[in-house]
């Protein structure tokens, strides 16, 4: 199948230029002017539209077990919703449970994805139980294309890693060309604050945020950066939300250290005020780190514009309000942590970022596709529009209006954190490896067509 995308403006992290683009099979084979339509099986008119690389979301939790149930999007519904929002590749988190090998965790998550995913997917490995054998096994993961490892400094007794474990993982990952992704919150201090709040019968959702104050993220971020420096290894801070954490990343980068960080749309567009929504609706925003007071947003936007933050991912981890979030009525610590966002990332970053002139069009592409591809070993196969790259493409109408709503979204969750927000800019066609999988509001892809992405080493 040869598809000609005609007369669009091709946008990469570096350029924006009018061109015709020819896709043959799964690959972009030509970019130029005056392409002959007769050689194509199909022509997509992209006049007045942008042609962007497919979005890459490097932080998702699809089909993730939590407190007896699972996050409500599996690999099929999640990657389908991602495609509707212009994201064609995700990197999800396989979890090593206590006593398990990394191979077991890897195969467990492959089984969740294979035969279901609509778009391509890679995996990070969450390590919760580290010993000599597991340290050794990290090499086998890297050989199999799992080149990044997540550690938690929060959730004591469940996922939390101590400093020794963190240090050893950093040294090993660094020597293997891998990257450690860090959930940086001081879990011990948070546990004390949660127990104190519950003892005082402070049970509403807003106490989730009050018991995880910004300083606990700032401290853990600084500590993880120091451990990475001691280990001589790169580090990637996930879902950075607080200005104190950003200050620590900036200082490390200013000293030339290989420190990287992402933030997520929820920290840019929502705030701690959302926890005040009545009738337990604040539970919809219970995630970790929590939403912050509004003043943190300006710091994050500055970090995105200056380059101190390198990527925008979603931390998509949806739980239905009915039946899942409600488990925490009367005890905020029992509210499943996480919120949906896999479908809304590009809409929000284009409308609120490019549209509001906070970031350029090129930076939008860099943050949502190119930098994630480079950091996580997918570039140049993914993350750009170039001859030889996978034809993961989004034809983007910069003037289309769209309303974000649970009534129309494709995520398998009963609420949308941005309910009723009108955005400008929307995809008209989404291609994954040369196949049009979304056209307007029609899904044309297939369950199970997504492929596992064997990633290369860290490319910071």
- Name the site residues for Zn ion (rule: CB under 5 A): 183, 315
Q: How far is the CB of 64 from ligand URP (least distance, A)?
A: 7
CB nearer to ligand URP: pick between 20 and 315: 315
Alpha helix positions (H), 91-202: 102-113, 132-143, 163-176, 187-199
The single residue listed with the structure tokens 């990070």 is 124
CB 393 within 8 A of CB 431: yes
112 contacts ligand URP (rule: CB under 6 A): no
Q: Which residue is nearest to ligand URP (CB)?
A: 337
Please tell me the count of residues contacting ligand URP according to CB under 6 A: 9
Task: Mention every residue, 6+ apart, whose C-beta is less than 8 A from residue 86.
Answer: 52, 54, 55, 346, 394, 396, 427, 430
Stated as kind and residue range, the H or E segment containing 6 is strand 2-11
Long-range contacts of residues 333-336, Cβ cutoff 8 Å, at least 24 apart: 333/194, 333/198, 333/208, 334/67, 335/205, 335/208, 335/283, 335/286, 336/66, 336/67, 336/69, 336/71, 336/286
Q: How far is the CB of 59 from ligand URP (least distance, A)?
A: 7
Q: How far is the CB of 287 from Zn ion (least distance, A)?
A: 8
Instruction: Round to whole Å and give the CA distance between 233 and 110.
Output: 28
CB nearer to ligand URP: pick between 7 and 315: 315
Q: Of Zn ion, ligand URP, none, which one sits near residue 337, judging by CB under 5 to 8 A according to partner kind?
A: ligand URP
CB nearer to Zn ion: pick between 5 and 311: 311
Site string for ligand URP, 35-74 (x = CB under 6 A): --------------------------x-------------
Identify the residue among 128, 147, 288, 368 touching ligand URP (CB under 6 A).
Answer: 288
Q: How far is the CB of 80 from ligand URP (least distance, A)?
A: 20
CB nearer to ligand URP: pick between 30 and 210: 210
Instruction: Round to whole Å and give the CA distance between 265 and 28.
Output: 30
CB nearer to Zn ion: pick between 46 and 64: 64
Site string for ligand URP, 175-214 (x = CB under 6 A): --------x-------------------------------
CB nearer to ligand URP: pick between 83 and 317: 317
CB 437 within 8 A of CB 427: no
State the distance between the two ends of the chain, measured CA to CA, in whole angstroms: 35
Q: Which of positions 293-322 make contact with ligand URP (CB under 6 A)?
A: 315, 317
Q: E strands within 36-130?
A: 42-45, 50-53, 55-60, 65-66, 69-70, 87-95, 120-126
Q: Where does this chain bind ligand URP (CB under 6 A)?
A: 61, 183, 239, 287-288, 315, 317, 337-338
């Amino acid at each position: 199948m040869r598809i000609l995308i005609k007369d669009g403006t091709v946008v990469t992290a570096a350029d924006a230029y009018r061109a015709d683009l020819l896709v043959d099979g799964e690959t972009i084979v030509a970019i130029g002017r005056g392409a002959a339509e007769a050689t194509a099986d199909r022509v997509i008119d992209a006049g007045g539209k942008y042609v962007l690389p497919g979005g890459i979301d490097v932080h998702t939790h699809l089909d993730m077990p939590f407190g007896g149930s699972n996050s409500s999007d599996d690999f099929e519904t999640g990657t389908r919703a991602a495609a509707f929002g212009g994201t064609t590749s995700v990197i999800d988190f396989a979890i090593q449970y206590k006593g398990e090998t990394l191979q077991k965790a890897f195969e467990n998550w492959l089984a969740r994805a294979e035969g279901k995913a609509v778009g391509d997917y890679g995996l990070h490995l969450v390590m919760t139980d580290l010993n000599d054998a597991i340290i050794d096994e990290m090499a086998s993961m890297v050989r199999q294309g799992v080149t990044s490892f997540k550690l938690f400094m929060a959730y004591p007794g469940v996922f939390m890693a101590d400093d020794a474990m963190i240090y050893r993982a950093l040294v090993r990952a660094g020597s293997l060309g891998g990257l450690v992704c860090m959930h940086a919150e001081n879990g011990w201090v948070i546990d004390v604050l949660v127990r104190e709040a519950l003892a005082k019968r402070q049970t509403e959702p807003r106490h989730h945020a009050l018991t995880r104050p910004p300083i606990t993220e700032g401290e853990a971020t600084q500590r993880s950066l120091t451990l990475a420096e001691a280990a001589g290894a790169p580090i990637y801070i996930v879902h950075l939300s607080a200005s104190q954490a950003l200050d620590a990343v900036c200082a490390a980068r200013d000293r030339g250290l290989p420190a990287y960080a992402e933030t997520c749309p929820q920290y840019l567009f929502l705030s701690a005020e959302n926890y005040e929504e009545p009738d337990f609706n604040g539970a919809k925003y219970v995630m970790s780190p929590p939403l912050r007071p509004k003043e943190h947003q300006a710091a994050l936007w500055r970090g995105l514009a200056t380059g101190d933050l390198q990527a925008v991912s979603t931390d998509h981890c949806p739980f239905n309000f009915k039946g899942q979030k409600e488990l925490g009525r009367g005890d905020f610590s029992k509210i499943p942590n996480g919120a949906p966002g896999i479908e809304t990332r590009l809409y929000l970053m284009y409308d609120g970022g490019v549209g509001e002139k906070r970031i350029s069009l090129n930076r939008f592409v860099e943050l949502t596709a190119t930098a994630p591809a480079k950091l996580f070993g997918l570039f140049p196969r993914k993350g750009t529009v170039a001859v030889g790259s996978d034809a993961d493409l989004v034809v983007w109408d910069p003037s289309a209006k769209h309303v974000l709503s649970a009534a129309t979204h494709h995520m398998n969750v009963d609420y949308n954190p941005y309910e009723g927000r009108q955005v400008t800019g929307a995809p008209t066609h989404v291609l994954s490896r040369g196949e049009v999988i979304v056209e307007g509001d029609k899904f044309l892809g297939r369950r199970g067509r997504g492929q596992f992405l064997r990633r290369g080493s860290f490319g910071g």
